[in-house]
Structure 1
């Protein structure tokens, strides 16, 4: 059985293709969405998901989120006295989703299709595959998130021919893909995006607005230094953002030094405060349309994916830009995972999917560092020579010819980059290869061939024309990406970690929520939360199921009364 996983910045989920359809899989709490949050509990055991997120406020030094944004880098996060890389934190989320799938399916799961933002770099894609490996999964395919969303919509609509634009705004990333469905083929025409733009940034704008509004009370507040207060503000911002999806205004409040600081924001004020973010959404859309050579009028569907597309101001922006209402008849939180499950069904050669073929594109331009003649006989290095242009259909193989620039040049040293800038210093370095050349006058020709496959694996081959000598480099390692021996070491370290018992997660999630609300509440509310929490813990100690159910319901009802139902 191959599962499909949407490994998200804010939330993750898992789905499976079974009985001729894609379906999402609930986690141990019965929720489809698992927050992409990892932390330690008081016993030193790993918590993943909602129980970990509830501890962001009470134990910020033992909890972390948003690590997907740093995939492919060597950034590390300290939790207690341990350091974790983004791949390891992602692996813990993937391991939790794998366990959910195994419980739901009743069988061991070892293979997965994992989605990534379309604009993820080569290093970020490799880091995602490593995270799967650390979680005990063989990653059968890496699929771009908007491609997965379009695949889910394409099968859902049963339309033999149509053109999609997928607008995918998740918690931390933004992607645009333009796809065409014809005669059972789903072809990606173009992709563009922004890896540091998502719903979390809209929430951060509300945090900044609140801080500005309540000055000078929080004039010297430092987000990094006071993580507990910052996490409380982040939570208030998320609630306000959700409130503005259904109301014309929302109020953020914060208990601070014996007083309650409040700020009421209208939907117009919110739209004005996030205008720079809305402006950043436009450029990738325009680039993708240009690259696909498709006019807006030719698009049959504008598809929304990602939880952040629920914001009315995002829907309004899309409607204004395209002159029509977007399609949202599939849950935007789940559509990417459903598409990943479809791709898993394709990999498993499910009979119901025999007629579906999917193509994808290379999201970045791939090329080499060359010297250009600025004045006669004067060469300047550092220029980017594209070999495979962005949005070329993959798999693909392309060739360029370069020449030596000096007499008796002993070798050609080629550095490989990805990006769109004219100068290589502004692009991303991938690897390098040196090819010896015979002592001859300048102008010796060397051909460089790039081959790029569907999983983002790049192979560079250089051939010296005069000798026919070939040199080959497979870009499997990038700066910041773990090497094979490091992966083995990290795998052993993760295996030694104690994971919080899954059968206790519902009770743990409720207790961590109660602890957070106790710290936030005052007066009578705090008294009641403390008393009912004690009663629930006492029932757990007695191990009487009837008492536990009653005490759990009493505590949950009180918490919902104080802050509303828990959200994902």
Structure 2
């Protein structure tokens, strides 16, 4: 049995696809949401979920929450003298969800589709994958959270064409994705976000307010006591939630037998939150730029993630787009339901046989390069993207590089993920050293990246002078079935043809070359210009752009020489 899991910062949930629909799974307490919290009680027993979260304020040294924010890092949590990594803590939550699902379904759960923030990098995704394996699950796929939400929203709208933006502000992360639905295809056009912006950051504003109000009474405890801080976090969360429906709310904490309370108005809170609200704008603008989509062409703006319940967030979104966002989707449940749809697709459910889902690469993938400066020195550590962010995947792209020094013996390519100009500010995910024959500088190496929806990256390097080929496979952490890995590699192999060698493009270029030979004067000059333009688009290797340009290419030739015929 395969299920879909939303592994959240604040709460997690799971769902199953059966009887032609996605169904939420209730836990042992009858709730569909399980707090992402872990605690160890006085007897050494492990607690997960609501029982753990309720101990956060009273037993801060034995309880931990919000560990999803540290996935992929070396940070650990100490619970009653025991060290846990973020993926180990996540595994405990996933194991609890697995057990609840087995009790609910009455059968063993062995596989799962797990969601991750769209802007999670390679290390964070691999950590999530390891967490699933530690929980005893075969992780069939990691799905971006906005993509999952789009599945939950779009599965009932496949008969119509729609284009919408998913605005996902959860407890610890913020994602934006633009989705298009047409002819049974759910296509992600762009994804971006901020991995360090969520409801927890808004809670911190109220924690800081309380420290300002009562810092003198608390003394040093107000600045460094973890027990007091956890009480403040809990009070801030309650206060923020109350302000979602009221014009003000009390933030109340009891410390050393005395109660401290501050009545906070929504207006004051929103004024403090202005810098955080402003940070919501840039990912939205970037997603619109990357997808080349105008805001007025969007059918809907879909809000998901519990933090989108804040009126300030909803007003901010309304101001961005000049209209109210769609709030009909349950922000806490949409991602889990979409994960279940994806699980149904993986299980090849007949009800989903006509559904196709595409996604994009959330980060640029490339290599480190160097360049020679006018003074003869070299600037090293420069990032050269090969597959740029928001490229529809699976994708394969090729770039050429050259040796910089005479008699160079080898070239070391570091493989990086990110957007910064310098590789030191990006995430290194692999490296490969390629031997080259001793020769003058300028020896060409063709580097091809091929990337699939499950996170498999193949790096193929051709040394032009010798014809030698070298390759590196960077997996997403799937240790599983070698046959599955081989299937994915075969699927990528079909993409490893440069667009210039595609039959349709070769036919178009052959037609243009013939037309150029037949034409004279201004017509010949015009044909030469459109050939140059089309070659430039082919070299950019974007299939969508190439297909559109090829249609325009033929239309331009039709105007000059008449329609082509068979």
TM class by shorter-chain length? 0.7 to 0.9
Give the structure 2 partner of residue 392 of structure 1: 391
Residues 457 and 222 (structure 1 numbering): CA distance in 2 closer, same or farther, change over 3 Å?
A: farther
Where in structure 2 are the equivalents of 1:287-306 lying within 5 Å?
Answer: 287-306=286-305
Give the TM-score taking structure 1 as reference length: 0.82
Decide whether the 8 Å contact of 2:5 with 2:14 is kept in 1.
Answer: yes
Give the structure 1 partner of residue 185 of structure 2: 185
Decide whether the 8 Å contact of 2:455 with 2:475 is kept in 1.
Answer: no
Give the structure 2 partner of residue 500 of structure 1: none
Cα deviation for residue 260 of structure 1 reads: 2.7
Give the structure 2 partner of residue 316 of structure 1: 315
Instruction: Check if 1:58 corresponds to 2:74.
Output: no
* Count of residue correspondences: 480
Cα deviation for residue 214 of structure 1 reads: 2.3
Cα deviation for residue 188 of structure 1 reads: 0.4
After alignment, is 128-137 or 467-476 more displaced? 467-476
Cα deviation for residue 476 of structure 1 reads: 3.5
Mapped partners of 1:119, 1:384: distance in 2: 19
Cα deviation for residue 452 of structure 1 reads: 0.9
Give the structure 2 partner of residue 174 of structure 1: 174
Cα deviations by residue, 1:334-379 (Å, 9 ceiling, x for unpaired) = 0000000001111111111111100000000011111112215332
Cα deviation for residue 472 of structure 1 reads: 1.3
After alignment, is 96-105 or 377-386 more displaced? 377-386
Unaligned runs of 5+ in 1: 485-568
Mapped partners of 1:256, 1:102: distance in 2: 41
Give the structure 2 partner of residue 139 of structure 1: 139
Q: Please give the secondary structure, in 1, of the residue aligned with 2:217.
A: coil
Give the structure 2 partner of residue 503 of structure 1: none
Query: RMSD in angstroms over aligned alpha carbons?
Result: 1.6
Q: Please give the secondary structure, in 1, of the residue aligned with 2:215.
A: coil
Residues 317 and 159 (structure 1 numbering): CA distance in 2 closer, same or farther, change over 3 Å?
A: farther
Give the structure 1 partner of residue 463 of structure 2: 464
Give the structure 2 partner of residue 237 of structure 1: 236
Mapped partners of 1:178, 1:385: distance in 2: 26
Cα deviations by residue, 1:213-239 (Å, 9 ceiling, x for unpaired) = 22322343355x422111111111111
Mapped partners of 2:231, 2:257: distance in 1: 16
Give the structure 1 partner of residue 379 of structure 2: 380
Mapped partners of 1:338, 1:256: distance in 2: 41
Cα deviation for residue 258 of structure 1 reads: 5.1
Decide whether the 8 Å contact of 1:214 with 1:262 is kept in 2.
Answer: no
Cα deviations by residue, 1:26-63 (Å, 9 ceiling, x for unpaired) = 10011110000011122212110000011112221111
After alignment, is 156-165 or 442-451 more displaced? 156-165
Cα deviation for residue 157 of structure 1 reads: 3.9
Q: Please give the secondary structure, in 2, of the residue aligned with 1:262.
A: strand
Decide whether the 8 Å contact of 1:250 with 1:266 is kept in 2.
Answer: yes
Q: Please give the secondary structure, in 2, of the residue aligned with 1:286.
A: helix
Mapped partners of 1:25, 1:305: distance in 2: 19
Mapped partners of 2:206, 2:156: distance in 1: 36
Cα deviations by residue, 1:49-85 (Å, 9 ceiling, x for unpaired) = 0000111122211111111111111222111222111
Structure with more contact order per residue of length (Cα contacts < 8 Å, sep ≥ 6): 1
Give the structure 2 partner of residue 160 of structure 1: 160
Where in structure 2 are the equivalents of 1:10-49 lying within 5 Å?
Answer: 10-49=10-49
Q: Please give the secondary structure, in 1, of the residue aligned with 2:280.
A: helix
Decide whether the 8 Å contact of 1:127 with 1:482 is kept in 2.
Answer: no
Decide whether the 8 Å contact of 2:158 with 2:182 is kept in 1.
Answer: no
Cα deviation for residue 431 of structure 1 reads: 1.4
Q: Please give the secondary structure, in 1, of the residue aligned with 2:189.
A: strand
Give the structure 1 partner of residue 348 of structure 2: 349
Q: Please give the secondary structure, in 2, of the residue aligned with 1:56.
A: coil
Cα deviation for residue 159 of structure 1 reads: 4.7
Residues 449 and 207 (structure 1 numbering): CA distance in 2 closer, same or farther, change over 3 Å?
A: same
Mapped partners of 1:295, 1:313: distance in 2: 24
Cα deviations by residue, 1:288-314 (Å, 9 ceiling, x for unpaired) = 000010111000010011111111111
Give the structure 2 partner of residue 442 of structure 1: 441
Cα deviation for residue 483 of structure 1 reads: 9.8
Cα deviations by residue, 1:81-140 (Å, 9 ceiling, x for unpaired) = 221111111111000000111111110010110000000001111111111111111111
Decide whether the 8 Å contact of 1:5 with 1:337 is kept in 2.
Answer: yes
Mapped partners of 1:440, 1:382: distance in 2: 23
Cα deviations by residue, 1:477-535 (Å, 9 ceiling, x for unpaired) = 8xxx9999xxxxxxxxxxxxxxxxxxxxxxxxxxxxxxxxxxxxxxxxxxxxxxxxxxx
Decide whether the 8 Å contact of 2:158 with 2:183 is kept in 1.
Answer: no
Give the structure 2 partner of residue 515 of structure 1: none
Q: Please give the secondary structure, in 1, of the residue aligned with 2:216.
A: coil
Decide whether the 8 Å contact of 2:159 with 2:184 is kept in 1.
Answer: no
Residues 257 and 35 (structure 1 numbering): CA distance in 2 closer, same or farther, change over 3 Å?
A: closer
Give the structure 2 partner of residue 493 of structure 1: none
Mapped partners of 2:33, 2:161: distance in 1: 32
Give the structure 2 partner of residue 270 of structure 1: 269
Give the structure 2 partner of residue 221 of structure 1: 221
Q: Please give the secondary structure, in 2, of the residue aligned with 1:207.
A: helix
Q: Please give the secondary structure, in 1, of the residue aligned with 2:188.
A: strand
Mapped partners of 2:80, 2:219: distance in 1: 29
Give the structure 1 partner of residue 89 of structure 2: 89
Cα deviation for residue 186 of structure 1 reads: 0.4
Mapped partners of 2:16, 2:261: distance in 1: 45
Cα deviations by residue, 1:258-287 (Å, 9 ceiling, x for unpaired) = 543221110100100111110111100000
Decide whether the 8 Å contact of 2:367 with 2:383 is kept in 1.
Answer: yes
Give the structure 2 partner of residue 538 of structure 1: none
Q: Please give the secondary structure, in 2, of the residue aligned with 1:44.
A: coil
Give the structure 2 partner of residue 210 of structure 1: 210
Decide whether the 8 Å contact of 2:396 with 2:449 is kept in 1.
Answer: yes
Cα deviation for residue 158 of structure 1 reads: 4.8
Where in structure 2 are the equivalents of 1:323-334 lying within 5 Å?
Answer: 323-334=322-333
